[in-house]
Each structure stands twice: as C-alpha cells, then as structure tokens.
Amino acid sequence: MHKVVISGTGLFTPPNAVSNEALVAAFNQYVTDFNTRNAEQIACGELAALTHSSAEFIEKASGIKQRYLMDASGVLDSERMVPLLPPRSNDELSVQAEMAVAAAGQALAKAGRTAADVDMVIVACSNLQRPYPAVSIEVQQALAINGFAFDMNVACSSATFGIQTATNAIATGSARAVLVLNPEICSAHLNFRDRDSHFIFGDACTAVLLERAESATAANLLEVVDCKLATVFSNNIRNNFGFLNRCDEGNSEPLDKLFVQQGRKVFKEVCPLVGEHIVAHLAANDIAAANVRRFWLHQANLSMNQLIARRVLGRDAAADEAPVILDRYANTSSAGSVIALHLHHEDMATGELGVLSSFGAGYSVGSVILRKC
C-alpha cells in the first residue's frame, strides 16, 4: 500500500461578484412587479402577496455577504432570474469542463506536476451538466491525460467522497496520481424567486491533486491519514430534476425540479450528524480534537459551522482554526470545504493535523484527516 498525499490544490473563481444588496434588489423588484400585476387577486384573497427579502437577514441567518456567479446579468434581471449561459456546440469545451481545467492547471502547477504524471480524473459535484459523455473524460482529453476518468455525484459531500476514491486508487496501485475536480454551477439549479433560498448558493470550481507520498516533491504536502464517509437518506434537501421528468406530461410545476430544502430541519439534523461523525473519526485514529490545528468545514451556514466546531472541540473555534470563506463565496456545494483548504493550509507546520469535512444532501457526510508533511 502506498502512502497518499495532497500535493496541489486549485480554485477557479467566476468573474461576477454579486453582493446581497444587488441580489435582494433584483428579488424585491420581482416581488413588487408580481404584487402589482396580481393586485386584484391579492386584494380579494385569491392570491397571497409576496414579501420582500433583506440583505440584513441574509447575512445574519447565513453569514453570506456575496457570491461569485458564472453569469450575473440573467440572475439580476428581475424578469428572468436565471443565469444566462448560452449552449455551446459539441466541438467547444463545455462550461463545467472549462472551470475544471482552470482549477486543475493550478493544482498541477502547485504540485510541480504535468498531465503526464496523472492517470485518473474524477469530476465530483452536485450538478452535472449532462449524463454523458462524462465531463471528467472531456477534462481528461483537454488536459491530455492518459488513463481514465469518471463523474461522481454525492451533492455537497462530493469532494470528500472523491478524495477517498482517489486515495484508495493510489494506495492500492491502480493510479499514480489523481485529479479530483468540483465544478459547481449552483446558480443554474437555484430558484432565485424563492425568498427562503435565493441567497444561499454561489458558483466555483476546486481541484485537488493526490499522488504517492514517496515520489511527491511539492513544497506543501498534506498526507491523507484516514477518510470516513457516511450517508443517511433524507428528503429535506432534494432536487427532482432528472431524465424521467419528460415522461410525466401532466407535470407543469417545475419548482421541485430545482433545489428545495427544509432549512431549519437540515440545520437541526445535520449539525449533530457531522459533529458525531468527526468526533468518532478522530477517536478511531487516536487523535484528540485539541490536537487538530485546522478544520476545513463545508461552507453552508456560519452558525452551522460554529456549532459543529463547538461540538467537536467542546469550545468555540478561533477564526484561524475553522476558516470561513462562505462570506465571500456563499455555499458552493462540494467546492466549499476545498476552497477553505486551498486558501488556508500553507501556513501549517510540519506534523500539524487538519480535518477536511463536507456534508449536505443525501444526507451525506465525509471527513478526511490530513497531516502536514
């Protein structure tokens, strides 16, 4: 069995930063127009008036201040509220592959590797733009990687599930080095007309290069000490979009074909699940939580992360122990915890430990214990 290290990480940040204020202005314009258009029905009680959103609420309830989007113009157009991402021809690099190639290039450069050193590519994310051919195989071709590639989907936990798969492949010798890529275009699956959730998500793509420890030469190496994954079925975060939709001609209600959640229930159920998962994972490896230098947690909600860190540490985590990136990026699904890792690991001292943890729909939770080499 080979020891495995993360030798490089990468981050593609979309060009359009959208503040809560801009998002709320578009939403509130939509609400005003809706209420004006339907004034008579609202007045006689046939229709409920819609209520404005608020930037203050968003920051207080979630910790999110802004997000990056692949397209802002379509989202901020109160008549549209859907990103404008024109289809590309089959001969052009598809948009998720383009994001993944950009992030992968950074991870390879950080690791001091080229495509010739890699022989497996995993694209792991919540929403894939098509069923086939796999986006990962398109990325493999774009980067000129020999070997094999496949796509995975475990919602927000896709990154840690991908990292475990990559670790196993390297440890057992079926791959020398693996790219795990998380291209998330959450904005295309978000209902920007829904007051409860219009602010939650952003777009981004992360990349992690894993390889055999014995031959890794990068300046910053994180040894994969152990991975632990768990899933428990729940309908509290659900998206019914899928190929069977076209077989139901009577279904004209598209709202459940987008992201839908019971946010309060998710909060209450997922926090203990993740807290206990990480505590058990550390215990199984004889590691005291106090000896963990850093927690790179999934970035869905600031209070959630504070609560999980408290459950694990038995006290509040310092900002430096559990870095927050969701204020700038919002929830970028599987990319979130890896963005935190990408931005906050190079300062760690040799031997220090960290835990990368993602959690979300499924429910699913994954944790990866890492040691700075």
Catalytic residues: 156
Identify which of residues 196 and 321 has a Cβ nearer to ligand CO8 in the complex. 196
DSSP code per residue over 128-171: -S-SSS-HHHHHHHHHT--SEEEEE-BTBTHHHHHHHHHHHHHH
Q: What are 368's strand-pairing partners?
A: 227, 356
**Min separation Cβ 168 and ligand CO8, Å:** 24
Interaction of residue 231 with ligand CO8, rule CB under 6 A: no
Identify which of residues 57 and 150 has a Cβ nearer to ligand CO8 in the complex. 57
Q: Which two tokens stand for residue 12?
A: 């593609």
- Mark 51-70 with x for binding to ligand CO8 (rule: CB under 6 A) and - for no binding: --xx--xx--xx--------
Tell me which DSSP letter residue 347 carries. Answer: T
Given the rule CB under 6 A, which of 65-73, 90-98, 255-263, 280-288 is the region that contacts ligand CO8? Answer: 255-263
Given the rule CB under 6 A, which of 15-23, 112-120, 260-268, 342-350 is the region that contacts ligand CO8? Answer: 260-268
Interaction of residue 333 with ligand CO8, rule CB under 6 A: yes
Interaction of residue 218 with ligand CO8, rule CB under 6 A: no
State which of positions 174-213 bind ligand CO8 (CB under 6 A).
186, 189-190, 195-196, 201
- 114/94 Cα distance (integer angstroms): 22
Helix 20-37 crosses helix 55-62 at what angle (to 10 degrees)? 130
- 60/305 Cα distance (integer angstroms): 14
Task: Residue 38: count other Cβ atoms within 10 Å of its Cβ.
Answer: 15
Say if CB 67 and CB 339 are below 8 A apart.
no
- Mark 289-328 with x for binding to ligand CO8 (rule: CB under 6 A) and - for no binding: -----------xx--x------------------------
Residues 6+ apart with CB under 8 A from 34: 50
Residues that bind ligand CO8 (CB under 6 A): 53-54, 57-58, 61-62, 126, 155-156, 186, 189-190, 195-196, 201, 237, 259, 261, 263-264, 266-267, 300-301, 304, 331, 333, 360-361
